[in-house]
């Protein structure tokens, strides 16, 4: 079995829980997820199976999109709805739409974030959530992330009450904490806040419309039709630049040959896919560190291709 399965992750399970459950359903051990989603978060979780596990990192590294809800009025230990209240401040004024739009605009582009204590980021070789569970606060490194766009989804012009909620859609780079973004939105408005709901609507090229639930996957498996819902590993690489190669070069690629950089790829700095004219990805290349005119293989994907 080989391919990528777009899972609709339900609330209440970790990404690892999802992998464990799918190993049982699919009756195979070679299953891997493409980046951690918090238990409360639902939505798109691409799962790599068989040889497709080789490309999991390229889905993880791609951009993501989410739809969520921010609650203004109190913050929590986990920055989401599952945590204990840390700070509470009732709203003493009406917040208008224009003010929220200005805050969202100010958070668009490259921003700095400090990962929440309840996160998988490692400090001193230990994950932050392990410190947090022991009540230990440690200094966390800030990181730069890119917010490509944030849209306000509520059409109200005014928001009032002791606490307020509004929905948003965000498109962002890998490593972005939407929980922390919700807190930052609240801070900019002058109030403690947290992320009260979140659904991932896109991961790399995979969208909600591509996803299947556990029940649906099990039904396809029982019917012997699981291959019908598996996408080829190439679907994980569709956002990356391609180097088309002929059959002669393909034989060299499967043996890890260096390749000359074509003119149209000289400005590319990330991974490049060596692909046949039939659309099969053979290998992932990057620029050679010592020979700027050449590409070196990072990972051979299909060495059985001739």
Report residue 3: phi and psi, to 5°.
Answer: 150, -175
Phi, psi of 201 (to 5 degrees): -100, -10
Task: Report the distance separating Cα 57 and Cα 99, nearest Å.
Answer: 38
Cβ pair 72, 94 in contact under 8 A: no
Quick check: is 38 catalytic? yes
CA distance 236 to 301: 12
Residue 241 token pair: 């630049």
d(CA 133, CA 148): 33
φ, ψ (nearest 5 deg) of residue 218: -65, -40
Region label for 213, one of left (φ > 0), alpha (ψ between -120 and 50) or beta (otherwise): beta
Q: Are 49 and 29 in contact (CB under 8 A)?
A: no
Which structure tokens are listed for 216? 């649906």
Using DSSP's 3-state secondary structure scheme, residue 89 falls into: coil
- List the catalytic residue out of 38, 40, 80, 210: 38
Degrees, nearest 5: CA angle 129-59-7: 80
Active-site residue numbers? 38
């Amino acid at each position: 079995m080989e391919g990528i399965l777009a899972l609709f992750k339900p609330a209440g399970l970790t990404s690892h829980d999802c992998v464990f459950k799918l190993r049982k359903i699919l009756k195979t051990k070679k299953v891997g997820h493409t980046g951690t989603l918090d238990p409360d978060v639902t939505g798109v979780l691409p799962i790599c199976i068989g040889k497709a596990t080789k490309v999991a990192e390229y889905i993880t590294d791609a951009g993501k999109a989410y739809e969520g809800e921010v609650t203004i009025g109190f913050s929590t230990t986990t920055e989401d709805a599952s945590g204990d209240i840390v700070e509470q401040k009732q709203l003493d004024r009406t917040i208008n739409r224009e003010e929220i739009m200005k805050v969202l605009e100010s958070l668009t582009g490259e921003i700095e974030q400090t990962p929440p204590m309840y996160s998988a980021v490692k400090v001193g070789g230990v994950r932050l959530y392990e410190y947090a569970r022991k009540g230990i606060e440690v200094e966390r490194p800030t990181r730069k992330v890119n917010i490509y766009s944030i849209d306000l989804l509520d059409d109200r012009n005014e928001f009032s009450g002791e606490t307020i909620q509004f929905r948003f859609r965000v498109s962002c780079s890998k490593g972005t904490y939407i929980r922390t973004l919700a807190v930052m939105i609240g801070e900019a408005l002058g109030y403690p806040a947290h992320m009260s709901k979140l659904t991932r609507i896109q991961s790399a090229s995979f969208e909600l419309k591509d996803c299947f639930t556990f029940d649906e996957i099990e039904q396809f498996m029982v019917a012997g039709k699981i291959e019908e819902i598996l996408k080829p590993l190439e679907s994980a690489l569709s956002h990356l630049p391609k180097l088309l190669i002929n059959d002669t070069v393909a034989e060299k690629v499967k043996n890890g040959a260096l390749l000359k950089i074509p003119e149209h790829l000289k400005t590319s700095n990330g991974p490049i896919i060596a692909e046949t004219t039939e659309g099969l990805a053979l290998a992932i290349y990057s620029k050679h560190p010592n020979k700027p005119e050449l590409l070196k293989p990072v990972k051979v994907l299909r060495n059985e291709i001739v």
